[in-house]
Amino acid sequence: MKKIGIILAAACCLCVTSCLKSLDTKPLNETDFTSDVAYGNEEGNYVAGLAKIYYCFINQWDLQVADMGSSELIRALWNINECSTDEAKSAMQADSWVKDINENGWSTAENAATYAVYARCMHAISYVNEFLRQTTEEILAERGVDSALSQKIIGMRQEARIIRVYMYWVMLDTFGDVPFVTEDSEFGTYVPEQAKRADVFDYVVTELKEVTENPATPAAGSNYPRVDKGTAWGMLTRLYVNAGVYTGTARWEDAKNACEEVFKLGYDLCPEYAWLFRGDNGENPESRKEIMFAVYYDGVKSTWKWGGTNYLSIGASQGIDDENGLFCIGLRDHWASIRAPYEFARDMFAVSNQDYTAGTYDCADDRGKLFHIKGRQEEMKDLSVFTQGWSVFKYNNTPHDQTLEQFRDIAATRNFSSIDFPIMRLAEVYLNYAEACLHLNQKDAAIPFLNKLRTRAHTSTISDYDADWLLAERGRELYWEALRRVDLIRFDKFCSGTYLWKYKGGSYNGQSIPEFRKVFAIPPSEISSNKKLNQNPGYEN
């Protein structure tokens, strides 16, 4: 198994610049150890350089925030894309981001979640740029790198480019117009210009097209959990379905075509939905058939990680859930910090006959059977009270082929999750395909793919669908995967006064929110340090 996580620990010692103003710099002292010296002609050095880029997904050590764990990219991105919607709320009211994100009231005030997203993405982009500078054909030849290793490095370069695309996608989706810098930008104390959202979109689409055409790009499904050609095509489907939001011009035909390219690559659905989010999802060949890119977590070899799936599993449970000494999520720790509103379970899955004493409820959809309700309350009258709302046990560290009883003794020793976080999986591409077909009046082509998802969930199949049904189906299939805010914006529900949820806009019963909140404020520290940046409209004061 190609797990670059084996060497991620080495990347921990590589310091991240604390200033984002100058994204690409060399040491001022010419005798200091520099990248061009570090790489040399040994393969391991280039793998370590690539590992440093991947590490940006899970790094939590170097930002000046009150809670290190909240500075990890996956956790921060999940918080802003889920707790700002109908799918999740946080009870950790002491954290600086919680009230603002829970109630859609963020401003230019310093916000740990949005700052973490901004900083982690820009750091990753700068690392990619440096890796690409250090791996050109000319430089490799000067170092005496042989042809076999050069070919491997060319493949690594394509991986780096895909990761840069992902980071730029997060940036343009979250902040709109963003600082833009590549390996071809001026080097040294260069201060990046702010690029228009549509221009960044065009750039990342072009990058992905080039990567998919490059024969050195790792083949789809060959590189888990690292990125590959399948990841690139999957990202293109995501970008194209959101093109109308990002550029003002829809790209539904391109979205459909990109999805059809994915269908040629040999992916398949995991036979059981729950297996996709178990502690062995990276080792289980059935779940790996579907996952096109995942962030790697190893709770045994790599500990002291408070973000990612550790946050999503431990954060969703509390001590009273481990009844009779069972570890309900395959881990011994509990934070009691995040949960779903009952209304989401009701509206998405038509749950009924809930018994909060016995912890049972009825649901005719396997995807909706991953809630935990014992000891909970339906109404979320006070967001700081964890027992109000429904807990989500979707992320479960127990292996797919073991019961809680069988895993009990091992779970008692586990503090950290080994669940890989799926960034892109085939099910999303099926749903993207259905959305493109809906807009192209070709729904019949997509219905078989939607029914594959519903058959897996052991729920009723369909013969027709519309936009509202499709948005709900995305909620059923992709809930708690850090995509809900993106979907609600695209379906014109995020700010609308006709689609409400508890605490939307700071009102208990929900209310509309201003359109400018479709993007977040650029962190004020970055506005003050880079005079080329303009704050997003609505956040100027």
132-174 pLDDT, tens per residue? 999 999 999 999 999 999 999 999 999 999 999 999 999 999 9
CA distance 258 to 264: 10
Sorting pLDDT into bands at 50, 70 and 90, what band is 4? low
Range 217-228 average pLDDT = 96
pLDDT digits (tens, 9 = 90+) for 66-104: 677 788 999 999 999 999 999 999 999 888 899 999 999
Range 189-217 average pLDDT = 95
Rg (CA), the chain: 23
pLDDT the model gives residue 65:
65
Contact, 124 vs 20, CB < 8 A? no
pLDDT the model gives residue 29:
39
Structure tokens at 484: 């809900």
Q: How many residues does the chain have?
A: 541
Structural domains of the chain ordered from first start: 4-217 (1.25.40.390), 308-419 (no CATH)
Task: Compute the mean pLDDT over every residue in the chain, rounded to the nearest whole number.
Answer: 92
Query: Would the pLDDT of 189 be above 50?
Result: yes
Sorting pLDDT into bands at 50, 70 and 90, what band is 64? low
pLDDT the model gives residue 75:
96
Q: Which helix (H) or strand (E) holds 53?
A: helix 43-54
CA distance 230 to 235: 9
Sorting pLDDT into bands at 50, 70 and 90, what band is 541? low
Query: Would the pLDDT of 250 be above 60?
Result: yes
Contact, 364 vs 352, CB < 8 A? no
CA distance 106 to 116: 15
pLDDT the model gives residue 108:
92
CA distance 388 to 93: 14
Sorting pLDDT into bands at 50, 70 and 90, what band is 14? very low
CA distance 236 to 207: 10
Contact, 77 vs 170, CB < 8 A? yes
**CB 403: neighbour CB atoms within 10 A?**
10
Cβ neighbors of 430 (< 8 A, separation 6 or more) are 259, 446, 449, 450, 452, 453
